[in-house]
Amino acid sequence: MFAEKKKNGAELSRLPNHISHTSKFKGDITSEEDFRIDGYFEGNLTTTAKIVLGDKGVLNGNIKCGNAEILGKVSGELIVDNLLSIKSSSSIDGNVTTGKLAIEPGAFFNATCQMKNGTKKANETPKSK
């Protein structure tokens, strides 16, 4: 119903996985799809895709993902391969490792932060053509 077929026969979801605002979840989740949390989640969440934590969402635990957009409250470790976007309504308390970081004014960010090296190393000089 909410899936479409790829050429190789695998199904793709049209909607992200979702924990609604009235839900509380404790445990570990591993997924290859986008994930949205608007309720309470305690545990570890791992995905190669994007995680969105809604403005009423609370996550106590660890996140490992491709991209993340945080509007709610996180307490734990965030490991984001690409872009971590922290919105003004968010509260982050823990450890952060990311490729790129965007923080809106007004966000609470009480974390140690480590930036991953991209394809170009920080001490590498650009090659001239």
Q: What is the pLDDT of residues 30-85, one digit of tens each?
A: 999 999 999 999 999 999 999 999 999 999 999 999 999 999 999 999 999 999 99
Strand residues in 14-66 grouped as ranges (E)? 17-19, 24-31, 35-37, 40-47, 50-53, 58-65
What is the per-residue pLDDT for 117? 73
Q: How confident is the model over 8-31, as a mean pLDDT?
A: 79
Where is 21: in which H helix or E strand?
none
**How many structural domains are present in the chain?**
1
Report residue 85 as tokens: 């976007």
What is the per-residue pLDDT for 80? 97
Is residue 28 in a domain? yes
- Report the predicted TM-score, pTM, of the whole model to 2 decimal places: 0.79
Which residues have CB under 8 Å from 84's CB, separation 6+? 67, 68, 70, 78, 96, 98, 100, 101, 102
Is residue 2 in a domain? no
How would residue 6 be classed by pLDDT, with cut points 50, 70 and 90? Answer: low
Write out the residue range of the structural domain in which residue 52 sits: 14-108
